[in-house]
């Protein structure tokens, strides 16, 4: 399926958020994920099924003041 992830178009081979995170080599990282502007808690990443056209945001902490 085709997704928009952090503004870029991406083809996901699997179906869940966990699949997406793994495909992006981000497994095990401290992240927060939004799908279509709703936060999906970490505890649901394994089960949350994405749909074609979903807009996903993945964020993390960086240096800031």
Partner 1 sequence: MSDLLTIAGNTYSSRLLIGTGKYKDFEETREAIETSGAEIVTVAIRRTNIGQNADEPNLLDFINPDKYTILPNTAGCFSAEDAVRCCKLARELLDGHDLVKLEVLGDQKTLYPNITHTLRAARELIDDGFKVMVYTNDDPIVAKELEDMGCVAVMPLGSLIGSGLGILNPHSIRLILEEANVPIIVDAGVGTASDAALAMEMGCDGVLLNSAVAHAQKPVLMASAMRKAIEAGREAFLAGRMPRKAYASASSPLDGISR
- Residues lying near partner 1 in the complex (CB under 8 A) are found at 5-8, 10, 24-26, 29-34, 37, 39, 41-42, 57-65
Smallest distance, partner 1 to C-beta of residue 49, A: 19
Smallest distance, partner 1 to C-beta of residue 14, A: 15
**Distance of alpha carbon 1 from alpha carbon 32, whole angstroms:** 21
Smallest distance, partner 1 to C-beta of residue 28, A: 10
Instruction: Write the CB contacts of 25 (distance below 8 Å, at least 6 apart in sequence).
Output: none
Backbone angles phi, psi at 45, to 5 degrees: -60, -35
């Amino acid at each position: 399926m085709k997704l928009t992830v952090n503004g870029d178009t991406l083809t996901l081979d699997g179906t869940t958020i966990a699949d997406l995170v793994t495909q992006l080599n981000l497994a095990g990282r401290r992240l927060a994920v939004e799908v279509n502007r709703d936060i999906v808690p970490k505890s649901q990443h394994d089960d949350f099924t994405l749909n074609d056209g979903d807009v996903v945001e993945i964020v993390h902490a960086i240096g800031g003041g």
